[in-house]
């Protein structure tokens, strides 16, 4: 392959088979070879399992430089947003491209607040689940079912319906998540309180009960808000790509978000924060850390250090730094600094960061490493960790879904394959099979 002026020529050695492909530049980041005419002109596909070298779309929402540990939303660094902004503003930014004015923020807050309650009949839907169901199983089911409850906002060709569906999902997700938790406990569902902000309202629906007042701890509310900001969007990750792929067929937005939730559940993605806690509990004591580090390095052992490594970040995940700080703030406030799991986590972090294997493979703690510890300190059961991730990521999924619908180049997603199965052969009747 040779680079020309804005094009790349791909030639098959020993043949005259060649094609000139345009090279596209974004505002920042690596250039991209447009291979759309590759198959038509040359009769070959590209092979890229895991899409590690493939740009699946054009986007203006989020930029990541994994080598440098940079994450920008609409150009703003995540550290600044986490420090100075709030989740409502970040949501507005992701959806609309700019930070809101005071009036726009107020309007946005009101628009979201108008949709925080769920259809009362949805409560009977919950009662069909077992009480011990994993809350992510409940989330996949209930969010998918929203299209049955809100059929008047499923026409993706109507911009008004798309807007209403977007507000509905951002507003209802905390309510649905808290209901999943309350149902597992057998406690009454708590209605949303629209005078509270997004994070406060969620904490109230999670932890208050009708029989006594509940005081929202401002340190925990701030931490919750920050966790939501840090998880709000992350470019074309597995669940976002799932939402886009589902949406590319014209599926309704509730179905697409349910697909995203299903993908997020996996332990290699959003399920990692739950897996971190399970791993720390399994390790148990600080003296067993070296044994587990050894296992993580052993090629013949499937064990991986949960909360370490990232497909894109080959440097410190910038969200992990903010999360680490928030973790200390929460533990200080709750007086839990001597919490054995945190001590264990810190020891694990230190040893892994000094270990040649982790240094060489550029494996750093990711955002999930710390979020699990904070969430546990705040009183969330580990089964709810991925649910919180889904609540936060909903706005990113919706922003990406909206961008895809508006993109004139959007087509149904349909990857090809390198086929390795049998070639054509004739059917053999069962009685004559050897």
Q: Is 310 annotated as catalytic?
A: yes
* Beta-bridge partners for 308: 365
Q: Are the beta carbons of 227 and 388 closer than 8 angstroms?
A: yes
Among 143, 296, 395, 398, binds ligand ACO (CB under 6 A): 296
Cβ of residue 336: shortest distance to ligand ACO, in angstroms?
Answer: 23
- Residue closer to ligand ACO by CB (options 106, 268) is 268
φ/ψ of 28, rounded to 5, equals -160, 160
Q: How far is the CB of 73 from ligand ACO (least distance, A)?
A: 15
Binding-site string for ligand ACO from residue 186 to residue 225, where x marks contact by CB under 6 A and - marks none: ----------------------------------------
Residue 234 is among the residues annotated as catalytic for this protein: no
Contact 319, 227 (CB under 8 A): no
Residue 238 beta carbon to ligand ACO: minimum distance, rounded to whole angstroms:
8
Which residue, 342, 347, 349, 350, is CA-closest to 377?
A: 342
Cβ proximity to ligand ACO, 204 vs 242, nearer residue: 242
DSSP 188: P
The CA distance from 217 to 221, in Å, is 6
Using CB under 6 A, which of 135, 144, 247, 307 touches ligand ACO? 307
| Subset of residues 19 to 58 that bind ligand ACO, contact rule: CB under 6 A | none
Nearer to ligand ACO, 174 or 396 (CB): 396
Neighbours of 26 (CB within 10 A): 13
- Residue number closest to ligand ACO, CB atom: 309
Compute the distance between CA of residue 362 and CA of residue 91 in angstroms, rounded to an integer.
Answer: 31
Helix or strand holding residue 200 (H, E):
helix 198-207
**Contact string (CB under 6 A) for ligand ACO, positions 336-375, x = contact:** -------------------------x-x--xxx-------
- Give the list of residues 6+ apart from residue 212 with CB closer than 8 angstroms, or none: none
In terms of Cα–Cα distance, which of 254, 247, 257 is closest to 412?
A: 247
In angstroms, give the least distance from the CB of 366 to ligand ACO: 4
Classified as helix, coil or strand, 63 is strand
Binding mask 256-295 for ligand ACO (x = CB under 6 A): ------------xxx-x-----------------------
Residue 65: strand pairing partners: 70
Chain positions contacting ligand ACO, by CB under 6 A? 268-270, 272, 296, 304-311, 361, 363, 366-368
Catalytic residue numbers, as ranges: 310, 368
């Amino acid at each position: 392959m040779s680079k020309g002026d804005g094009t790349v020529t791909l030639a098959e050695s020993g043949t005259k088979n060649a094609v000139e492909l345009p090279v596209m530049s974004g505002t920042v980041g690596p250039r991209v070879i447009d291979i759309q005419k590759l198959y038509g002109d040359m009769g070959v596909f590209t092979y890229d399992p895991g899409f590690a070298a493939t740009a699946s779309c054009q986007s203006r929402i989020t930029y990541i430089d994994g080598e440098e540990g940079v994450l920008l939303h609409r150009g703003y660094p995540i550290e600044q947003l986490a420090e100075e902004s709030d989740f409502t503003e970040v949501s507005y930014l992701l959806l609309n491209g700019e930070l809101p004015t005071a009036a726009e923020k107020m309007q946005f807050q009101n628009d979201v607040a108008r949709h925080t309650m769920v259809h009362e009949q949805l409560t009977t839907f919950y009662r069909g689940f077992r009480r011990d169901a994993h809350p992510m199983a409940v989330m996949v089911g209930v969010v998918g079912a929203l299209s049955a409850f809100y059929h008047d906002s499923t026409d993706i060709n109507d911009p008004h319906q798309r807007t209403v569906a977007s507000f509905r999902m951002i507003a209802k997700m905390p309510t649905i998540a808290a209901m999943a938790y309350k149902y597992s406990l057998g406690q009454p569902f708590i209605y949303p309180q629209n005078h509270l902000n997004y994070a406060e309202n969620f904490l109230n629906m999670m932890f208050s009960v009708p029989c006594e007042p509940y005081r929202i701890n401002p340190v925990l509310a701030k931490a919750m808000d920050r966790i939501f900001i840090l998880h709000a969007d992350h470019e074309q990750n597995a669940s976002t790509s799932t939402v886009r792929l589902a949406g590319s067929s014209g599926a309704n937005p509730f179905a697409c978000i349910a697909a995203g939730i299903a993908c997020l559940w996996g332990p290699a993605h959003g399920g990692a924060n739950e897996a971190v806690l399970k791993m720390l509990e399994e390790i148990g004591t600080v003296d067993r850390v070296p044994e587990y580090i050894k296992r993580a390095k052993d090629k013949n052992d499937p064990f991986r250090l949960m909360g370490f490594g990232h497909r894109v970040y080959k440097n410190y995940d910038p969200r992990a730094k903010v999360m680490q700080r928030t973790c200390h703030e929460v533990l200080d406030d709750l007086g839990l600094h001597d919490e054995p799991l945190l001590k264990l986590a810190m020891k694990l972090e230190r040893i892994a960061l000094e270990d040649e294997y982790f240094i060489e493979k550029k494996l750093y703690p990711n955002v999930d490493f710390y979020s699990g510890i904070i969430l546990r300190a705040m009183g969330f059961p580990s089964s709810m960790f991925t649910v919180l991730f889904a609540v936060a990521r909903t706005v990113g999924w919706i922003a990406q879904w909206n961008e895809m619908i508006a993109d004139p180049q959007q087509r149904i997603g349909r990857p090809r394959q390198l086929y390795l199965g049998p070639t054509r052969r004739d059917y053999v009747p069962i009685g004559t099979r050897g």
